[in-house]
Amino acid sequence: MESKPLATRTESAPQTIRAAWILWLILLAALGIRLIYGFSLEPEIFWHDGREYSRLAKSILETGAYLTPEGNPTALWPPGYPFLLALIYALFGTSVMAVRAVQAVMGAATCYLVYLLGLRLLGWRQALLSAALAAIYPLFIYTTGTLYPVVLVTLLIAAVFLLALDAVERSSGMRALAAGLLSGWAVLAVAAVLPALLLTSLWIFWEAARKRAPEAARPGSPRCWGRGVKLALLFLAPLVLMVGTWTWRNTQAFGRPVLVSNNGGYNFWMGNYPSVTASTGGRWMPGMAEEYNDIHRRYQNEAEVDRALLERGLEHAMADPGRFAGLTIAKAFNLWRLYPQPMTHERPHQGVERIASILSYGLLLPFALIWLLRSLRRSPPARLVLLLWLSFSFVYAFFISKVRFRIPLDTFIILYASGGLIALVACLAGVLKRRGIRWSWLSALTGERPKRLEQGASRRRFRN
Return the domain boundaries, the chain. 1-148, 338-464
**Long-range own/partner contacts, residues 160-164 (CB < 8 A, 24 or more apart):** 160/186, 160/197, 160/200, 161/117, 161/200, 161/381, 161/384, 161/412, 162/113, 162/116, 162/117, 162/120, 164/200, 164/203, 164/204, 164/235, 164/384
Q: How far apart, in Å, are the Cα atoms of 437 and each of 7, 430, 449, 450? A: 32, 9, 14, 11
Output the pLDDT for position 346: 45
Output the pLDDT for position 12: 52
What are the average pLDDT values for consecutive 10-residue runs of the chain, which has 464 residues?
37 69 96 96 90 96 93 94 97 96 98 96 92 96 95 98 96 96 98 97 94 55 80 97 97 93 95 94 91 92 94 96 97 92 54 84 95 93 97 97 95 96 82 65 52 39 36
Q: How far apart, in Å, are the Cα atoms of 38 and each of 112, 134, 358? A: 20, 17, 22
Distance of alpha carbon 16 from its chain centroid, rounded? 29
Output the pLDDT for position 14: 57
Output the pLDDT for position 211: 76
